Structure 1
């Protein structure tokens, strides 16, 4: 892993944060202020701003970018973040020997995409651009299901904690709206968290 926490390549994404890894802290929350994208809005392209009106004396536009459309350009792939579905499970080993802890997911739930700011494209477009750029497949939503189990060793006098849910990959990109006359709105930096795989997050305390 690079010093800034980013993945050095797309192939290493699947090897990071394996379910059997025991962490020392609970799952991290996104540092940005992000909003979940509603399931019924995933396929929809957002409406763009009104076409800017030419000022008196302006020449007619000579370039044509019809139809007006949103643009998203991914620039950076970060690491995985875990979004829990259901409650935390814990097991304390009060003995002087290593004990086996088994955890089972208690609910079924979906996790979708979260973004900072307003995208000028649909979520599906964002996912396609991410796949093209980083050769990694992320989804609009994934389901963590009831009944999935995992067993791990708990050291003496330690507590193993576990949450089941969805690992999401962080991506940073630029988004803007391109008008029909080829002018554009200012670029915005968009951070997204997209479902990558279903699994457990484990930590000891």
Structure 2
């Protein structure tokens, strides 16, 4: 199946990594370790790329986009494990003794090492610093760890065919679950951004 690229391959890459049946457990190909994507061995990245290329005719020009999307998903995956399966149970080591049943492909040795890294003093310090930085932001968003990229993925799924621009992301990132912006100052800023985007669209 030949798929054409959209937005320079970015949208195609995200769709492939999210939906390809050959990558249902692609996370299992990447070790669950506390390191940056740039430190992951090249042969593992090649395995991911080859798996994608078996299911989709992407071409070498799309390789970087596919691997960049895989890197983002890997980072989000570790964040999900940390937020939902580790930090809530810091005082219940029994629940941390085994990998989550949802992710049966995680080996116990890797899980134990990952849990230890997330409960370390170094990680606690970095996590605390990030929280303090967010508190000081004048127009703080409400995205937690999923970030703007995660929000964009979510909006693309719920609003197919609609172009998600920066102003839309900014406003949605600051809305509560009812679609309201609780902070009056932030709400005023959102109105200003909306007016500017409307004027830009008309021009």
Q: TM-score, normalised by structure 2?
A: 0.20
Say which structure is richer in strand: 1
Structure with higher RCO (Cα < 8 A, 6+ apart): 1
Higher Rg of the two aligned structures: 1
Say which structure is richer in helix: 2
